[in-house]
Structure 1
Amino acid sequence: MAVQNISESVYVGLCLKIGTPQQVASRRHTVDIREMLANNEPSIMMLSGSCREGFRLSGSDLDYMQWPNNHRVIWEFSQCQFYNTQEHALILCDSSESPPGFTLLWLPLDRAYSRVMSACVRMNGMLYISSSKYREVTCSIFRSDSTPHGPCSSGSDGEVEYDIAHCFVSDFWPPCASSWIDRCHSWPPPHVVNDIIRNGCHFVAIGHKLGHHTDNEWRISFSQAEYKLVYAMNHTQFLTYGLLKLFLKEIINKGLRDEQKLLCSYHMKTTVFWAIQQNALPHWCPQNLMVGFWVCFKLLLKWVYEGNCPNFFIPENNMFLNNIYGDAQKTLFTRLYRLYEKGIALLLHSPSIRSYIDNVLVNPKLTVFTVGLSLISEVELDKDIFYEMFINDSKGTLDLRICRKDLHAVEQLIGLPLTQYHIVMLQKLTATILQCTAFMLHNLYNNTGSNKQLYIVDKMACHMLKIAARCGCVSDMLYIAMYYYKTFRYREALSVIDITKVKLEQPYLMYGCHVDRERYIEAVGGQSLSTKMRRAVVYNIKLGNDNEIFYINELKPEQLSSNQNNGHVLFIPPLILLYMLEFLCSRHVDTLRAQRALDDLQVLVHHDQGELIDVDLRNISWEILGICQQIAGNLHAALYSYQQSLREYPGNKIQTATIQRIQDLHL
């Protein structure tokens, strides 16, 4: 009974730390919808790793895989028939001299795109893509400040570190992993197996350390299959995996230097996969969480003792072969066995888990299961969902052709059976695509189109922005105001600003982590996520920097500065942008209103305590105040604002523009 109570208590604790079933589902579904639209782009980027699986643990990196959409890897020549070689460069696997799970990639036609050709080497008179050369070629493609890290390009975006694995894709399941299909009797379900096989695999640019062609080999990656397997877990199995990750980080690897950390999160995931498939625990339920953890730990201990961790898809690939052998293996086994001897008490060494075990040890009759789960309120769940939407509401480099394809893809997705999380994410992405399309159309035809073309394009752009405002969130109204200002319709812009100001002054709005819970529930509690987003959710405004569109000419230097410093988006607090637009428009029609707008902007920037302006966005807020003060002729106040902008966290990477503006004041 004590173990069952501990299991229930830890289950609740992990729901609070890792996520409830609803939170985890919303995280996954928002990413899924965004990536369904990414298939239209020349280069596809897929979120992978723990973040894709639904974890949001502090300190975790963001892992991505990126591959060219116009290359395909095949396993045999007969598969050529499925491709138009004018559209796809074909690459053939040659695994004859590689260890299990690895292969060479051969270009049978000696033809591919320049980036790939520059990474080729000749062996036995044939052209192969070298994994080491490909890493060199692709390291700085995504970000010029990236550095090599294993098979990845690594770097940081603010406080978030990322790894991008540049790879190739195959639409076919590897023959060397055919035994996995035969093992799938009880788990995963047949529809998951079929989906995994249909989606093939990837090839990551790193060779086996003990192989004959280490610098040229590629590792077969099952990242896509793995996140589908994690999706197929029930919540207890998922939390067991999460508990193992915490066990690894907070107990096994605590105090070790990086080079001493022999076990990694991938080993933990592999133990869970095997334990589930081998039916090591008949019932994975909250009351059995500790039993499930113990089953996985014993399996891991057995593998370390034997020096063999079998890859879940290709068991012949021993993932311990490179580093867990000899003295290192003995030391690791001794350490793990000492933990094993402590029993469940070993988890008392985990800061994340200890309190939930202590609660039961102090009061064995404590009932926490149903009470604990109610701690995740509707408001907290909504905050999590809308935050996920905000960080996933982005597209890669856009042009009109891709936007047209995206809108066609949206039409097709609408006809599918979608969850509420899919639907609301699809709405927000549709709004974003329409906004980008509207400004791109204006940018394209403004200088080249005839009057008739301009009239037609303008009508289309206005219509798109109004649709976006109807299906997006409250702050999406500001894109209409920006467009009207850009097209010199100041009174129309001010009319939209007036409506938006009323909406933004409502006391129940959810802006990031700031919300009046009681008023929010009173206003939209129990309603659909779509209704909540349209009526009660506010996002920071995103101005993309990578398609040569300047949404507000007065912010052109900031967009250029951000882009030059690898900032792909300029983020602006909605009220800051509203007051800026009100000031800029009123200057042409109502100078008294312009001064009131500037006063309101100044009060907001000087006195906000983090409720209406994110701390990371105080630099752009001071910058915008300085721009407006400079336009109004108050140069000393503008100088002070620019100097304050430089003192803030450089969230938008606009320092270059700020310094130039200070120099241009000539005080």
Structure 2
Amino acid sequence: MWEDDDHLCRLLADSLANPVGFLPVQRLNRRVDDILSNIHHFGTNVEVIQTGSWAEGFRMNGTDVDRMYVDKTALVSETPDRIPNRFCSIKMVTSGNIPKGYVKLILLTPNKAEQHIQLAVISEGGNACISSKSYVTSYVQRNEEIHGPCVRRVSQQGTEQDDAHCLRCAHWPSDAMEWRDRRRSHGWPDHDMVKEISKKGCYVVPIGPKCIDGSGCWSFNSMLWRLSFSVVEKRLVYTFNDTQFLVYGIFKLLVKEAFRETRDVLCSYFMKTLMFWSIEETPRELWKQERLISCIKVCLRRLIMWVSDGFCPNYFVREHNMFHGKLDEIDRESLFIHLSELYGEGWRCLLRCPSLGNLKDALQRSRCRILEMPNNAVDPDEDFRGLSLQRRNDSNTFTEDIEDQAFFSQLEGIVQSHPNFRSLENELYNTVALLLEKETQLDYLMHDTVTLYQQKTLQHIAMIFLYKALNDTRRCARYRYGQVKRALDLMELTSSADLTRGRLTLATAYYCMGYYTKALKIIRECENAFEENQAVLYISSRYPNQIGEEYVAFFCNGSLSRVEKASMGVSYDFEVFRTMPILPKEIMLQILLVRQSGTILSFPPRPYALFLKALCFAESHNKSTVKMLRRKLSDILPLYPEAFHLLYIMLAVCDAKLDRYDKAIQNYYFAYWHKKYMTWRKEYCSERNSLNSPLLYVALMLRLLI
């Protein structure tokens, strides 16, 4: 049941590429996340550190984003006299009455403390103690909730993110000295890494240990804080080899899909702890792909032992039992039976995961085929060998195109819903400062990431200049002309950063100012890119990504940087911000009717280019060309089911320009109902809170045009 089979191990490893992740892509995700984090928070009073599964490179369904917000103005220490005077000094107290892994914090310099620390101070025994509960509560805003030591927030895309507001400890804590001095028979982590890690200290997060209150219920001690080693853990995960990282992903998948108990006892963090202990206490020779089954077995046995003992030791503070307050006797027994059943199934317990349904079906079909053969022709390993080879042949693709898609998707996923000049200026400065600071460590990935993000920032700055110039009537004409010129210069500079967004933004700006000939010239450049099959990697934060065979043939030869690939072969949506809408007046209501100020509308590039071209010809009273472009727009409508409501609005505008108002009313009606259908299916949708009355919606749209 747990015997290693080379073909089976390869088959499992290949089958896990989709649910767990493609390992080269996960490494890429980590680097890009770290680079972008430096850009966003370079030089501020708060350091933001991405942690958890997202920072480790996982992109499983349901993977949330965890961040640590570290107050850079304060330092915590067991020897506060060593804290430099420029910091707010906080004493960290440990004693026999405080459980291992937890500390009490005493504020020593209240005049240097920021507001959230001051609000959390409670006098206790003549000391200004900082309450963990009051500290985290001070950060909670409307529609947010406390989740452990974090504030749980919902992003614009509907994903949950846990933000832990915490403080930095300047040294390695005494409770974790055993980890630093621990004897490691198998050399992981090695001595140099342990020495490097222990010099960087740790963090304290605002949550205390669970204890039984006067009513006999579990509650958190509101005056204690927990030691956090999240940054160290991320550093250790980065040292995992491919097999170790794959096993880690398997157990995260099992937690989500197979370890189903009455209570949410097992969590992803326990699986990380399981991996740390298992790797440290087993030989390096075990962690190879051909021994993948044995690796899973070793980890599952250790987990069962922990549940049997009711003790899950924290990796850095061995005496800290992470099951405390989470696993009572009834749940422990139930979980032990459940895990023992899984262990008894051998490696096939993995097939309980719905994410591996394709592998399960393939094994069943292969087994049926073998059983139909004569007995003397049966090879017990044939199904594994055949499926392994078939799997590798089916997934015979270039790693480079998969990595490129992940890279550009990650950059596109960064959404600043309320861009303003000050924040964008800071980020632009940060990109330059980061390149100068990391000059000795500069590689192609860092250069491409920073350069592309810099171009995206410049595009947003240009849109701010243009929006203010077109709408700020209090300024004189000369000033507004200067702003327009600056905006157009920046748009020209960044228009070639990709195939579509930069050019369509510039074309839209020209159209809004009445320069229709210039707009048509830019639109034709976009159309030439489509016709020459250059725009073969389509990246969108709203609609499904698309990658064509041409991209592999033209761009995946290892000789082009990602900046060059973006300018020659990557297509993005045309984006419109609710806070600064730069788009044709004919569809302005589509964004203005949305009540949420942080809304961003995304228009697929090909239909939007056709639509903008039709508007330009309509202004020149060339109705025959408008009619022809309207027909093309109607022909490609079925290709964009996620954007039906936007395309129907484009068709309605074209019909109104052609004086076919009955058709315009019909298409506006279709647009309304497709938008309603979309918002019913997607809880977090840009247009969810827009105008609800179909009659008023259609009337307003037509009033704008007639």
Give the alignment's TM-score, normalised by structure 1: 0.84
AA of the residue aligned to 2:525: I
Q: Which residue of 2 aligns with 1:462?
A: 488
**More divergent stretch after superposition (574-583 vs 632-641):** 632-641
- Counterpart secondary structure, 2:678: coil
Structure 2 unmatched ranges of 5 or more: 214-219, 367-378, 680-684
1:268-347 to 2 correspondences below 5 Å:
268-347=271-350
Q: What is the CA–CA distance in structure 1 between the aligned matches of 2:658 and 2:92, rounded to whole Å?
A: 66
Do residues 429 (structure 1) and 448 (structure 2) align? no
Do residues 18 (structure 1) and 20 (structure 2) align? yes
Residues 82 and 408 (structure 1 numbering): CA distance in 2 closer, same or farther, change over 3 Å?
Answer: farther
2:417–2:598 CA contact under 8 A, matched in 1 = no
Deviation at 1:538, TM superposition (A): 1.3
2:504 counterpart (464, 478, 489): 478
Q: What is the CA–CA distance in structure 1 between the aligned matches of 2:38 and 2:104, rounded to whole Å?
A: 30
2:652–2:665 CA contact under 8 A, matched in 1 = no
AA of the residue aligned to 2:69: W
1:30-109 to 2 correspondences below 5 Å:
30-40=32-42, 45-58=48-61, 60-67=62-69, 71-75=73-77, 76-81=79-84, 83=86, 91-96=90-95, 98-109=98-109
Q: What is the CA–CA distance in structure 1 between the aligned matches of 2:309 and 2:124, rounded to whole Å?
A: 37
Residues 540 and 103 (structure 1 numbering): CA distance in 2 closer, same or farther, change over 3 Å?
Answer: farther
Deviation at 1:385, TM superposition (A): 1.8
1:160-199 to 2 correspondences below 5 Å:
160-170=158-168, 172-175=170-173, 176-183=175-182, 186-188=187-189, 193=194, 196=197
Do residues 656 (structure 1) and 690 (structure 2) align? yes
1:244 counterpart (232, 246, 251): 251
2:569 counterpart (518, 532, 536): 536
Residues 532 and 14 (structure 1 numbering): CA distance in 2 closer, same or farther, change over 3 Å?
Answer: same
Q: What is the CA–CA distance in structure 2 between the aligned matches of 1:146 and 1:601, rounded to whole Å?
A: 46
- Counterpart secondary structure, 2:21: coil
Matched positions, count: 647
**More divergent stretch after superposition (237-246 vs 316-325):** 316-325
AA of the residue aligned to 2:675: L
Q: Which residue of 2 aligns with 1:228?
A: 235
Q: What is the CA–CA distance in structure 2 between the aligned matches of 1:98 and 1:383, rounded to whole Å?
A: 50
1:91–1:106 CA contact under 8 A, matched in 2 = yes
- Deviation sequence 1:615-645 (CA, Å, 0-9, x none): 1x43444455556666777362464254234
Deviation at 1:442, TM superposition (A): 3.9
Q: What is the CA–CA distance in structure 2 between the aligned matches of 1:174 and 1:486, rounded to whole Å?
A: 59
Deviation at 1:319, TM superposition (A): 0.4
**More divergent stretch after superposition (337-346 vs 496-505):** 337-346
Deviation at 1:514, TM superposition (A): 5.8
1:31–1:52 CA contact under 8 A, matched in 2 = yes
- Counterpart secondary structure, 2:41: helix
1:642–1:662 CA contact under 8 A, matched in 2 = no
AA of the residue aligned to 1:405: N
**More divergent stretch after superposition (472-481 vs 264-273):** 472-481
2:343–2:349 CA contact under 8 A, matched in 1 = yes
Q: Which residue of 1 aligns with 2:374?
A: none
Q: What is the CA–CA distance in structure 2 between the aligned matches of 1:268 and 1:579, rounded to whole Å?
A: 51
1:30–1:388 CA contact under 8 A, matched in 2 = no
Q: Which residue of 2 aligns with 1:592?
A: 622
Q: Which residue of 2 aligns with 1:511?
A: 538
1:74–1:91 CA contact under 8 A, matched in 2 = yes
Residues 510 and 128 (structure 1 numbering): CA distance in 2 closer, same or farther, change over 3 Å?
Answer: same
- Counterpart secondary structure, 1:67: strand
Q: What is the CA–CA distance in structure 2 between the aligned matches of 1:127 and 1:614, rounded to whole Å?
A: 60
Residues 273 and 432 (structure 1 numbering): CA distance in 2 closer, same or farther, change over 3 Å?
Answer: same
Q: Which residue of 2 aligns with 1:581?
A: 612
Deviation at 1:405, TM superposition (A): 3.5
Deviation at 1:292, TM superposition (A): 1.2
AA of the residue aligned to 1:228: R
Do residues 499 (structure 1) and 525 (structure 2) align? yes
- Deviation sequence 1:409-464 (CA, Å, 0-9, x none): 32344435455544443333122111112223445666476666656554543343
Determine what percentage of the aligned residue pairs are the same residue. 21
Do residues 266 (structure 1) and 302 (structure 2) align? no
- Counterpart secondary structure, 1:511: strand
Q: Which residue of 1 aligns with 2:373?
A: none
Q: Which residue of 1 aligns with 2:131?
A: 130
Residues 322 and 348 (structure 1 numbering): CA distance in 2 closer, same or farther, change over 3 Å?
Answer: same
Q: What is the CA–CA distance in structure 2 between the aligned matches of 1:71 and 1:169, rounded to whole Å?
A: 9
Q: Which has the larger radius of gyration?
A: 2
Q: What is the CA–CA distance in structure 2 between the aligned matches of 1:90 and 1:663, rounded to whole Å?
A: 63
Deviation at 1:550, TM superposition (A): 2.7
Q: Which residue of 2 aligns with 1:218?
A: 225
- Counterpart secondary structure, 1:315: coil
Do residues 646 (structure 1) and 682 (structure 2) align? no
Q: What is the CA–CA distance in structure 2 between the aligned matches of 1:132 and 1:560, rounded to whole Å?
A: 41
- Counterpart secondary structure, 1:81: coil
Q: What is the CA–CA distance in structure 2 between the aligned matches of 1:653 and 1:191, rounded to whole Å?
A: 53
1:484–1:492 CA contact under 8 A, matched in 2 = yes
Residues 208 and 372 (structure 1 numbering): CA distance in 2 closer, same or farther, change over 3 Å?
Answer: same
Q: What is the CA–CA distance in structure 1 between the aligned matches of 2:627 and 2:199, rounded to whole Å?
A: 58
2:47–2:72 CA contact under 8 A, matched in 1 = no
- Counterpart secondary structure, 1:591: coil
**More divergent stretch after superposition (494-503 vs 620-629):** 620-629
Residues 72 and 603 (structure 1 numbering): CA distance in 2 closer, same or farther, change over 3 Å?
Answer: farther
Residues 370 and 385 (structure 1 numbering): CA distance in 2 closer, same or farther, change over 3 Å?
Answer: farther
Q: What is the CA–CA distance in structure 1 between the aligned matches of 2:626 and 2:692, rounded to whole Å?
A: 22
- Counterpart secondary structure, 1:609: helix
Q: What is the CA–CA distance in structure 2 between the aligned matches of 1:560 and 1:91, rounded to whole Å?
A: 49
Residues 619 and 355 (structure 1 numbering): CA distance in 2 closer, same or farther, change over 3 Å?
Answer: same
AA of the residue aligned to 1:167: H
Q: Which residue of 1 aligns with 2:29?
A: 27
Give the alignment's TM-score, normalised by structure 2: 0.79
1:133-172 to 2 correspondences below 5 Å:
133-140=134-141, 144-154=142-152, 160-170=158-168, 172=170
Residues 157 and 400 (structure 1 numbering): CA distance in 2 closer, same or farther, change over 3 Å?
Answer: closer
- Deviation sequence 1:260-282 (CA, Å, 0-9, x none): 23212211111111111223453
- Counterpart secondary structure, 2:311: coil
- Deviation sequence 1:118-159 (CA, Å, 0-9, x none): 45544335444433344444333xxx4444444444465688
Q: What is the CA–CA distance in structure 1 between the aligned matches of 2:627 and 2:148, rounded to whole Å?
A: 51
Q: What is the CA–CA distance in structure 2 between the aligned matches of 1:107 and 1:630, rounded to whole Å?
A: 68
1:474–1:534 CA contact under 8 A, matched in 2 = no
Residues 367 and 402 (structure 1 numbering): CA distance in 2 closer, same or farther, change over 3 Å?
Answer: same
**More divergent stretch after superposition (197-206 vs 644-653):** 197-206
- Deviation sequence 1:173-224 (CA, Å, 0-9, x none): 4413344333486333567556655665444333211289613433333333
Q: What is the CA–CA distance in structure 2 between the aligned matches of 1:171 and 1:465, rounded to whole Å?
A: 45
Q: What is the CA–CA distance in structure 2 between the aligned matches of 1:376 and 1:200, rounded to whole Å?
A: 45
2:29–2:407 CA contact under 8 A, matched in 1 = no
